[in-house]
Amino acid sequence: MHVSHDPTAPAAEAIGFDQFLAVDIRIGTILEAHPFPEARKSAYKLLIDFGPAIGRKRSSAQITEHYALEQLPGLQVAAVVNFPPRQIGKFMSEVLTLGFPDEAGKVVLFHPSTPVPNGGRLF
């Protein structure tokens, strides 16, 4: 299945509510952000705290266009926490940090406008 980042693309095929519930999207706070020079596409390595039930997880995120390393710690972000870990070079990415494309297709992080408890699940 190909996912289009084109804002003019039609909506994806309809799914059942149970399929939506199978994707576990949680909120977490970025604790650390580091350069990831080994990545094929410009990215950062993130350590994100999802609260006591999920814990701390690592993610590779292609967010270098809009975010400087020093502005990321403390920022809350949404991520899919129940995908299998993915090896990216020598780095194991444990969660998929979520974002939307800007006009140029660069990632803008998806995060709450008001602080919420880490580990909260999207509904």
Tokens linked to 1: 């299945």
Q: What is the mean pLDDT of residues 41-48?
A: 95
Instruction: List the alpha helices (DSSP H) in 63-123.
Output: none
Q: For residue 120, is pLDDT > 70?
A: yes
User: Is residue 52 within 8 Å of residue 101, measured between CB atoms?
Assistant: no
Number of structural domains found in the chain? 1
Answer whether residue 5 is part of any domain. no
Q: Which pLDDT score is estimated for 82?
A: 97
Q: How far is CA 93 from CA 79, 84, 86, in A?
A: 12, 9, 5
User: Which range marks the domain in which residue 81 is found?
Assistant: 22-109
Predicted confidence band of residue 4 (pLDDT cuts 50, 70, 90): low
Q: What is the reported pTM? A: 0.90
Domain of 28, CATH number, reads: 2.40.50.140
28-38 per-position pLDDT tens digit: 999 999 999 88
Answer whether residue 6 is part of any domain. no
Q: What is the mean pLDDT of residues 15-26?
A: 92
Angle at 52 between CA 48 and CA 57, to 5 degrees: 25
Answer whether residue 7 is part of any domain. no
Q: Rg (Cα) of the chain, in Å, rounded?
A: 15
